[in-house]
Structure 1
Amino acid sequence: MEGLTLNGGVNNIFNEQYYDWGAVRRSGGHMGLDTFGGQAGSVTDRSTAPGTNVFLSATYAF
């Protein structure tokens, strides 16, 4: 169909553990406890990016 664009892909195909810099909490010099009982600013598994995932999108311009 003219005007239809499909995009798709696979993110993190090898299921590597990595951290998104903008999502990792930093202590800012405060070493108190966070709400989960760990050190504030500590990097744990809950701070990692999601594993392998796929996406598909469609755009139609008329």
Structure 2
Amino acid sequence: KVKDLSSKYKNIRRTRPDGNCFFRAFSYAYLEHLLTDKNEYDKFCEIAKNSKEILIALGFPQFTVEDFY
């Protein structure tokens, strides 16, 4: 099984088994993908720039959202 995995993947990243491991692993994989795809990177940056206003418009308290900016 290890040989099969090593033929498909270069690295392994361990995550905490805290119930959020899928989301953490997905996020790392997506961010690593952004390093190789300029168009996707540009789209991600545009969404990130506008996310504060979007979250506030959806009803999140401004003081809570500002913790991330």
Q: TM-score, normalised by structure 2?
A: 0.17
Q: Which has the higher strand share?
A: 1
Query: Looking at CA atoms only, which structure, 1 or 2, has the larger radius of gyration?
Result: 1
Task: Flag the structure with more relative contact order, 1 or 2, with Cα contacts below 8 A and sequence separation at least 6.
Answer: 1
